[in-house]
Structure 1
Amino acid sequence: MNVHIESADMKKNEDGHFIGHTLFSIEGYKDSYELTFFSKRGKEWDYSINFAKESGKEEDLLTIDKLIEEDDDLFDQLLDAALDSMEPTASE
């Protein structure tokens, strides 16, 4: 499965929680998607998935969500793209 990451970002908010996004597309699917990540400490991650641009087929969105949920390597690839975009802080 070929994944193309279009952009990614991650930051800590004023409470020290991690909030990030990865925009990506997967070969064989017409639309681009955006994952939004959230973690209080950077260890356990919650995410939500949306269409990155205009709405597409809901069936495809649900299929991609299931892929991400079941494929740890895919999830890690998308999360790592966001984490890699973070600039180190003075305390790190």
Structure 2
Amino acid sequence: MINPAKIEEIAKQISSNMPQGVKTLAETFESKTKQAIQNKLTEMDFVSREEFDIQSQVLIRTREKLMQLEEKVAQLEARLAEQDPADKAE
């Protein structure tokens, strides 16, 4: 879902920019930051780029299938319309 490497990178950037005196707490801070970011992103219910791309492809295939079915229905309706006058004449 969410790229853990990106979260780790963000947490490291935050901890590396801390004042020297606080760097001894960097590991704890980094861990808590990663956890907090992960929790917030999970709450936001984001989808990964991979999942987005997969669903986009599913949608494209669904649209193509729908267009094929619409064309088939139109052909069947045209054939039915051609047969109706003959049925009425009998």
More contact order relative to length (CA 8 Å, sep ≥ 6): 2
Of structures 1 and 2, the larger Rg is shown by: 2
Which structure has greater helix proportion? 2
Which structure has greater strand proportion? 1
